[in-house]
Amino acid sequence: MNIKTHQVADLIIAEVSSDEYIINNTDDGLDFLGTLYFQGFDKVTINETNVVPVFFDLKNGMAGEILQKFSNYRVQLVIVGDFSKYESKSLADFISESNKGRQVNFVSSITEAIGRLSA
């Protein structure tokens, strides 16, 4: 796992990347949150390709459980990727609703992610 730090004014944003999945299951998601939280990050980006695809199947509850922890710890998360490949209407609705708020967002570029987190 690689962490690139972006400083925007007094904000410090973690851009996390890897050549493999970082989040394979709920425990990985919680470990990911804990690692970043205890390093002092409260704003995080991760690429959609670093999250196991089953995360985006809302029926299994994995996304809900992980994203609720991010909300509880007040760590803003932006997932960067192309979400059009997922054909689920419930996922599209979830992304649309999430993007109306600030806690969890889904965007197509790191530039957009940094913009959302620094607004």
Handedness of CA 3, 1, 77, 45 (dihedral sign): positive
Residue by residue, DSSP assigns 86-102 as: ---HHHHHHHHHHTTSS
Please give the structure tokens belonging to residue 100.
């109306």
Q: With pLDDT > 70 as the criterion, what percentage of the chain qualifies?
A: 100
> Can you list the alpha helix ranges (DSSP code H) found in the chain?
26-38, 62-72, 89-98, 110-118
The vertex-82 CA angle with 80 and 85, nearest 5°, equals: 145
Please state, in angstroms and rounded to a whole number, the distance separating the CA atoms of residues 76 and 41. 9
Tell me: the pLDDT tens digits for 58-97?
999 999 999 999 999 999 999 999 999 999 999 999 999 9
pLDDT value, residue 12: 94
CATH label of the domain that carries residue 19: 3.30.750
**Quick one: pLDDT band at residue 37, thresholds 50, 70, 90?**
very high
Rg (CA), the chain: 13
Q: With pLDDT > 90 as the criterion, what percentage of the chain qualifies?
A: 97
- Higher pLDDT pick, 100 / 9: 100
pLDDT value, residue 80: 98
| Structural domains counted in the chain | 1
Domain range for residue 18?
Answer: 2-118
pTM of the model: 0.95
**Quick one: pLDDT band at residue 35, thresholds 50, 70, 90?**
very high
